[in-house]
Structure 1
């Protein structure tokens, strides 16, 4: 594969800042939001708004307001996608010589091995807790009425052709894999058009709007990775902007306004859904992406938010976030099945600690070893001979960050 640009100078490469641990914390919180989201959807009243039915007055305040952020599962996945675009692109850009030959096997191992193990967990749970849904179950739970078959398991294992209801949370991994394969193109766009970042962002948002209007899932989700990727060349500029905000007379007020604005934008689908009209929903999809992107940016530069995201508990969640995302949904469905019809509200109280415990064990037994294997494969391919490499230009006056 040919180089996409001229080499980075070694002086700038040596000045690269350390990894933003706050982004790990943000990923952990996003994973917890998804767990809460699915745990609440077992309750028919909480599932109803996702079916286009007006929420009951008792939960309208938690549905049609920015408070929805605590159980906004779809929007949390948007954060995942933007984070992936940012982190992977930055990891390429900060490397003086990046090997694509080593990248592909190691990246795919890192994704697929935990996914395959999580399918096994889901099938095992379905064996011991058969999915026999009743009239009192929510529409979301009934949507998991899946029979384990060879083709359905194979489809989940491949990912790129879609996923079944065995562990429907895997739907987002389809786009993670496709993005990972397309990473050279994403990096090329981020490098070549870094000075036209506003054009890249605008084109991405237009693609999201078109995908939402036409129900084309590739257009709905893949542009989010580009939104994250185009941030990568500008991380130091973001940090300098944050430093300037801290010099203002009332920086806390400015930061609070930005954070509240990001939350409002991220949950705009729900606040705007009180207004009818498909055009509103297309607009909301764009606003949600803007809000999710702003949350990612604030996680890098907002001092108070950075400290919160880098706390020990939140970083623990970040460390097991992938495992938590992979294993939680079959657990939520199984717990819902075991509870009596009138006790579904207990799902949240039970599913969160059980999911955390299983995710930690899964991380130790599966995800952690898969990371080590991935690194070994990467290092072996680097050491075994000449590899196809891509190198990036240093920004004028600004070292690359990641």
Structure 2
């Protein structure tokens, strides 16, 4: 299977997929500025047949599936962060930890400062009812302490920049990568059981409100895909030799996203706290993994994700994800009194402009700083303990990984 990779080893299709997921999250939060937009299945009181009903309770929900897109982000992170560990003996753990912390921490700090600037630019006193997303996400009494709380991903408060809640789980997964990698390798031959366990844990998480069980299994599913990536490619190669390959791939490409949003397809009258909704949400990481497999294996879809527009959005996706919510909220207050969609005509383009600038001024530099931090830590460790004690396996790549090394997917 001829899979396009970038010079740094990234699977290009996954960058495009991440870009599409970022666009969906922006659409999700844009509609959230409308108090009638249902936040969870069964929430709100939208009239059957109305525009908001069609957007929320039909397959059109795919365009605004925010929570589901975050689950896809987590699966992608589990894949790309675990893959170098699974592929290479002598993985430099000493370099990894400072590299990953800088890679996540610098953009978060920059995003919090930008969010603070938009918060103080205009008073955020919501005219919507208490409990709406806009009211809950506004910061009417800003202080400098809010910036510090936003920087604290483990125990802080991302009030001034809503998407930072997900970075907490990214950081926890990154710090616990050895555990996730070992667990994924342990179930390499029993991968069906591993995925089933992830589904059960996710169900327990959404059923009980446990954040760890709700989100960390998605990273594990991505890690399992990483250790099984060659098997995924072999599966795709076999599929692509079949006469009905396009029909089979289409069924998977259509079925996986629909499974991802399945709780919404139950309709507006379903109880959001029903056992069926919880069970379907538990399948979300599995559906996201199927989307990833399809993006890698089906050439027409892969070509779409490798197209220049989605590659461009993929390049700025992390920055766009970090900065768009404060800008949307700022725009809503700037155009207060106007129909709810008018602020979006200003806020969405502004979010893209800021994301492009943020990518080049902050995120790209964080790549270099993270590499420098990792190299410095590895060099200091080597100088202190001696090169041979850093890792005995560093010079001996795994035989099965020699050809694959060129195609290693780098961490986001």
- TM-score greater than 0.5 by the shorter chain: yes
- Give the counterpart of 2:219 among 215, 221, 225: 225
- Quote the residue 1:93 is aligned against: 86
User: 1:60-209 counterparts in 2 under 5 A?
Assistant: 60-135=53-128, 139-146=132-139, 147-209=141-203
1:240 aligns with 2:240: no
Task: Give the C-alpha shift of residue 394 in structure 1.
Answer: 5.3
Task: Give the C-alpha shift of residue 382 in structure 1.
Answer: 3.3
- Quote the residue 2:253 is aligned against: 259
- Distance across 2 between alignment mates of 1:164 and 1:227: 26
Instruction: Report the 3-state secondary structure (helix = DSSP H, G, I; strand = E; otherwise coil) of the residue aligned with 1:40.
Output: helix
Instruction: Report the 3-state secondary structure (helix = DSSP H, G, I; strand = E; otherwise coil) of the residue aligned with 1:96.
Output: coil
Task: Give the C-alpha shift of residue 293 in structure 1.
Answer: 1.4
- Give the counterpart of 2:278 among 276, 282, 289: 282
Instruction: Report the 3-state secondary structure (helix = DSSP H, G, I; strand = E; otherwise coil) of the residue aligned with 1:315.
Output: helix
Using a 3 Å threshold, how does the CA distance of structure 1 residues 167 and 18 change in structure 2: closer, same or farther? closer
- Quote the residue 2:263 is aligned against: 269
Instruction: Report the 3-state secondary structure (helix = DSSP H, G, I; strand = E; otherwise coil) of the residue aligned with 1:46.
Output: coil
Contact 1:40 1:47 in 2 (8 A): no
1:316 aligns with 2:312: yes
- Give the counterpart of 1:33 among 5, 14, 24: 24
Using a 3 Å threshold, how does the CA distance of structure 1 residues 133 and 275 change in structure 2: closer, same or farther? closer
Contact 2:42 2:270 in 1 (8 A): no
Task: Give the C-alpha shift of residue 54 in structure 1.
Answer: 3.3
- Distance across 1 between alignment mates of 2:128 and 2:351: 26
- Quote the residue 2:378 is aligned against: 382
- Quote the residue 1:347 is aligned against: 343
Using a 3 Å threshold, how does the CA distance of structure 1 residues 354 and 192 change in structure 2: closer, same or farther? same
- Quote the residue 2:11 is aligned against: 20
Contact 2:130 2:136 in 1 (8 A): no
Mean CA deviation greater in 287-296 or 302-311: 287-296
Instruction: Report the 3-state secondary structure (helix = DSSP H, G, I; strand = E; otherwise coil) of the residue aligned with 1:194.
Output: coil
- Distance across 2 between alignment mates of 1:282 and 1:388: 45
Contact 1:42 1:138 in 2 (8 A): no
1:54 aligns with 2:54: no
- Quote the residue 2:295 is aligned against: 299
Task: Give the C-alpha shift of residue 46 in structure 1.
Answer: 1.7
TM-superposition CA deviations, 1:133-178 (whole Å, max 9, x none): 1147981111123232344332221111152321111000000000
Task: Select the structure with the greater relative contact order (CA < 8 A; seq sep ≥ 6).
Answer: 1
- Distance across 2 between alignment mates of 1:320 and 1:87: 17
Using a 3 Å threshold, how does the CA distance of structure 1 residues 100 and 336 change in structure 2: closer, same or farther? same
- Distance across 2 between alignment mates of 1:240 and 1:103: 30
- Quote the residue 1:360 is aligned against: 356
- Quote the residue 2:5 is aligned against: none
Using a 3 Å threshold, how does the CA distance of structure 1 residues 268 and 50 change in structure 2: closer, same or farther? closer
Instruction: Report the 3-state secondary structure (helix = DSSP H, G, I; strand = E; otherwise coil) of the residue aligned with 2:282.
Output: helix
Task: Give the C-alpha shift of residue 45 in structure 1.
Answer: 2.2
Contact 2:57 2:265 in 1 (8 A): yes
- Distance across 2 between alignment mates of 1:163 and 1:45: 26
Mean CA deviation greater in 287-296 or 344-353: 344-353
Task: Give the C-alpha shift of residue 393 in structure 1.
Answer: 5.3
Task: Give the C-alpha shift of residue 197 in structure 1.
Answer: 1.1
Task: Give the C-alpha shift of residue 55 in structure 1.
Answer: 2.4
Contact 1:125 1:331 in 2 (8 A): yes
- Quote the residue 2:243 is aligned against: 249
Mean CA deviation greater in 302-311 or 333-342: 333-342
Gaps of 5+ in 1: 1-16
What TM-score results when the alignment is normalised by the length of structure 1?
A: 0.90
Using a 3 Å threshold, how does the CA distance of structure 1 residues 314 and 51 change in structure 2: closer, same or farther? same
Using a 3 Å threshold, how does the CA distance of structure 1 residues 252 and 33 change in structure 2: closer, same or farther? same
- Quote the residue 1:334 is aligned against: 330
- Distance across 2 between alignment mates of 1:244 and 1:315: 27
- Give the counterpart of 1:214 among 202, 208, 212: 208
Instruction: Calculate the aligned-residue CA RMSD, in Å.
Output: 2.3
Contact 1:85 1:227 in 2 (8 A): yes
Instruction: Report the 3-state secondary structure (helix = DSSP H, G, I; strand = E; otherwise coil) of the residue aligned with 2:102.
Output: helix
- Distance across 2 between alignment mates of 1:305 and 1:349: 30
Instruction: Report the 3-state secondary structure (helix = DSSP H, G, I; strand = E; otherwise coil) of the residue aligned with 1:168.
Output: coil
